[in-house]
Amino acid sequence: MAIADTPVLIGKIVEEELRLTLDELSGVCSVERRRIVELVEHGLFDAQNAGDQRFGGDSLRRARLALRLQRDLGVNAAGASLVIELLERIAALEARLR
């Protein structure tokens, strides 16, 4: 299913093979550092290592989701964190129903 004569790109799984610094995470999300710090303060995700603040790759998905919710729905960091927790609970319940 690949196209011939085109190089194959090999990437890394962000969630497992990368640890992002605060600067990298805010850079990837295109926001200022304080917006990420705010999400950490609301417990949306943890820095894995308090010393140099490395974030697990799943933080990327949660951070981007939280920032979208804040931007589009006008909720604050606390509201976005609550929405994400509830969405995850719904997803878990729905998975059990299937």
Which residues are at the interface with other proteins (CB under 8 A)?
1-3, 6-16, 18, 26-28, 30-32, 57-58, 60-61, 64-65, 67-69, 71-74, 83, 87, 95, 98
Specify the 3-state DSSP secondary structure of 55. Answer: strand
Q: Whole-angstrom Cα distance, residue 57 to residue 62?
A: 9
Nearer residue to other proteins within complex by CB, 53 or 70: 70
Nearer residue to other proteins within complex by CB, 11 or 51: 11
Nearer residue to other proteins within complex by CB, 41 or 61: 61
Q: Shortest gap between Cβ of 95 and other proteins (angstroms)?
A: 5
13: buried, middle or exposed (CB in 10 Å: 19+, 13-18, 0-12)? exposed
Specify the 3-state DSSP secondary structure of 1. Answer: coil
Q: Shortest gap between Cβ of 47 and other proteins (angstroms)?
A: 19
